[in-house]
Chain A
Amino acid sequence: SQKIEQNSEALNIQEGKTATLTCNYTNYSPAYLQWYRQDPGRGPVFLLLIRENEKEKRKERLKVTFDTTLKQSLFHITASQPADSATYLCVLRHYKLIFGSGTRLLVRP
């Protein structure tokens, strides 16, 4: 069955640096992949969607890449800020949405 793997260890970086989060999936490539942000005790919030025929998608300080050969998506936050601290979820569709368990990002001031 399709699985998503996100680093369970928190990513701790200094303010102003670029944060890079990794999402790996097994089996076949999905038609598209989404990234969400989740703050403690809150529901996830949609950030970006990238389709299988797109290599890269950008939105302000966010950038997502999708490599169907590596079966991997990378999520970048440039010029990171303490307010970017949250858990980031990778989501793909396999007749339903499958959520990764997320990677927690901590940006130190």
Chain B
Amino acid sequence: SQTIHQWPATLVQPVGSPLSLECTVEGTSNPNLYWYRQAAGRGLQLLFYSVGIGQISSEVPQNLSASRPQDRQFILSSKKLLLSDSGFYLCAWSGRGPDEQFFGPGTRLTVL
């Protein structure tokens, strides 16, 4: 069966510090991968998606970046965090068709 992992579960970082969140998927090959952010009481905002290794599409301009160094690994990064980067970050994967998305447990990021 497929599983998706995210870490860390929670993170408190000072403004201006770097960020690296990691997501890995097991039990499937060549998945579509996604990074979302959810602010309190808001819907999920798609940040990045990837259809293959090294292929990243950005949905919104921001100081975040994403990379996919391996087929089942997706990394969200920032060189300098802003207060507005606080939120709940979710990684998800899907198959090639218009399938449902499977979400990881999420990372709660607080920037102080």
Contact = CB atoms under 8 A, between A and B. Distances in A.
User: Do A and B make up one complex?
Assistant: yes
Interface of A: 4, 8, 31-32, 34, 41-46, 49, 89, 93, 96-97, 99-102
Contacts, number: 41
Interface of B: 36, 41-44, 46, 49, 59, 88, 90, 92, 98, 100-106, 108
Contacts of A44: 44, 90, 101, 103
A32 B44 CA distance: 18
Nearest to A46: B100
17 contacts: A32-B98, A41-B106, A42-B106, A43-B104, A43-B105, A43-B106, A44-B90, A46-B100, A46-B101, A49-B100, A89-B43, A89-B44, A96-B46, A96-B49, A97-B46, A100-B43, A101-B41
